[in-house]
Chains A and B, each alone.
Chain A
Amino acid sequence: MHLKNALRAATALTLISSVGASAETITIATVNNGDMIRMQGYTDDFTAKTGHTVEWVTLEENVLRQRVTTDITTKGGQFDIMTIGMYETPIWGANGWLVPLDDLSAEYDVDDILPAMRGGLSHDGTLYAAPFYGESSMVMYRTDLMEAAGLEMPEAPTWAFIREAAAAMTDRENDINGICLRGKAGWGEGGAFITVTANSFGARWFDEDWNAQFDQPQWKEALTFFVDMMNAYGPPGYATNGFNENLSLFQQGKCGMWIDATVAASFVTNPNDSTVADSVGFALAPDTGLGKRSNWLWAWALAIPAGTQKEAAAKEFIEWATSKDYIELVAKNEGWANVPPGARTSLYETPEYQEVPFAKMTLDSINAADPTNPTVDPVPYVGIQFVAIPEFAGIATEVSQEFSAVYAGQQTVEEALEKAQALTNDAMEAAGYR
């Protein structure tokens, strides 16, 4: 009897110690945005399910990018999971810096990830980061102002219509700008917007031999169109406006239209923050009839740096955070409008989510984006608002600074394009592409 009890006690002790040994503390580097902060609040659910605890390092997007790049290249090993975007994932995956996510469990249902997201977060067909949320860009507009202007927004407008509507809605006396767009320097800010605009005008960053294309008429047409429209109907000082500045203007009722990230839809329709929450409509990003719309594709995704000692626990976290169950958890507690959008097909098949006003347009916008075939003419790169090569961030930041100088009235379109052409070709030559 004593022997039996002793055996039972030993077995219990072994079980307890084995659970204790497998419980890890993982460190996650992440960005400061609404969905990510919300996820931090649900960490207890993950800990209760797996026993693992989580330490968060939240940083501003650009600081995070520098921090995790340094950590991964110096093998610092400070993070077990990194929040990275669609630009970094294929490059880092190709370098062998990330753990392939090719053995996720059957319950996770990897095939449920939206194909555009899965493609953008893979290299050579292998998934390297799981999307936490995804976004494209679309037109958000004031239905009341549009009606007052006697116009009707088509589901898929052209740039010509956008310009006409901007002219009709502009009311300088009442401080209403027909259109608000990003002009702020930075490859992920104004640089991203002018790149997708140029795509729809038939322009491209490089030809198939990696020669810069800023000397082509399509770039001149796109940039001139943008500058003329914004000077006439945009807010004053738009050269320094990014996402936040435009969000603020739109929420205060000072923009007739705003073309930007689809995630903004939940902000502008939230009556707690937005004064125009009940009069916002959505449409696809505009085109010029050449077959490419001016919408981008982006995802904030969770990836595991190669070399982490806690790979198994990190994978468990990724499976939890990007699962269908997590979406249901958020929906149950905070409503369907607040679940992380743009990552899973099943979300858009959920009847409750289909009732969310911006759900359909978000999905249509994501589906309209093709990172492997982003421009009218063929290109040697992947990426819509970026070119997935390591040199791009530096080059595009400089180019966007030249463009911002045009928006600020400090130089002409021709001067900016000439400088962009020269600096891009120089950088590409130095990097060995040409």
Chain B
Amino acid sequence: MARAVSTRRKVMTTALAWAIGLLIFFPIYWTILTSFKTEAQAINNPPLFFGFDWTLENYSVVQERSDYMRFLWNSVIIAGGSTALGILVAVPAAWSMAFVPSRRTKDILLWMLSTKMLPAVGVLYPISLIFVEFNLLDTRIGLILVLMLINLPIIVWMLYTYFREIPGEILEAARMDGAGLREEILYVLTPMAIPGIASTVLLNVILAWNEAFWTLNLTAANAGPLTAFIASYSSPEGLFYAKLSAASTMAIAPILILGWFSQKQLVRGLTFGAVK
């Protein structure tokens, strides 16, 4: 009897999970579908799911109008660079908070997180003025720095949570064997926290890839990533939904593929430490 209830519950849970999954995926599916329609088909009401002539015209128009590879390369450099730099800063910070906590550690962690609660536009002018002063406007290095700083609280928090799961005794043993701080972090802590670090890296690459406030406001013709590429196809006066969808599909494709292939690591990392 208990097994029958359990099976029913399993079926229901699975069905619910599928329903939520499909609901979340639907906008992406719709965007991809629209990208293969003509502009007239894209706005058709009732919406066309099947029975339209698929066209690649939008992709060819987008390719012709924009230098996709330049935007893609900027996205790769900015997302990758800001994440790498963030990890470099956050690993020692999270180590000290997890293994050598002070009375203020919790406060500092909360304070770091509180910076995420400030609307980005609140610091648009100070950041812009700093960028003008240091000639960082429309440069990839400028965006790497800003995105690193923006995502740093999340990186530190995630790493701190993973590091807390690692027994301090192992590090003590390493110290007794003569390991210095550098060796301790590099050769003992990091290998043990690889799943956690991997999921932190993935999540931050996704966050940096999708960031669309600073990447639009601090770039012009040179350093614009794929968010700027998409923004150039949005228009309140003119119907360009099919082209916008094609541009969006091209922009999300790389990160979608990355997420697909790394979903195991991502889930493993996100649930790491969830069950004690």
Contacts and interface: CB of A to CB of B under 8 A. Distances in A.
Nearest to B66: A58
Interface in B127-184: 128-129, 131-132, 137-138
A75 B65 CA distance: 29
Given A57-B224, A61-B237, A244-B238, A272 B232 contact: no
Given A63-B216, A66-B217, A70-B217, A32 B125 contact: no
Contacts of A60: 231-232, 234-236
Interface stretch (B38-46, B197-205, B248-256): B38-46
A77 B129 CA distance: 12
A34 B238 contact: yes
A322 B39 CA distance: 29
A244 B239 contact: yes
A80 to B, nearest CB: 10
B221 interface: yes
Interface stretch (A16-24, A148-156, A246-254, A283-291): A246-254
B70 to A, nearest CB: 11
Interface in A1-39: 27, 29, 31-34, 37
Contact of B220 (A57, A61, A73): A57
Contacts, number: 97
B221 A27 contact: yes
Contacts of B272: none
A74 interface: yes
Contact of B221 (A56, A62, A263): A56
Contacts of B68: none
Interface of A: 27, 29, 31-34, 37, 40, 55-63, 66-67, 70, 73-79, 188-189, 242-244, 247-249, 251-252, 254, 261, 263, 267, 272-273
B40 A79 contact: no
Interface in B51-94: 65
Given A70-B125, A261-B237, A76 B43 contact: no
A76 B125 CA distance: 11
A252 B44 contact: yes
A247 B43 CA distance: 10
A74 B65 contact: no
17 contacts: A27-B221, A31-B235, A55-B221, A58-B232, A67-B216, A70-B124, A70-B128, A77-B132, A78-B138, A244-B238, A248-B43, A248-B239, A249-B45, A252-B43, A252-B45, A261-B237, A273-B39
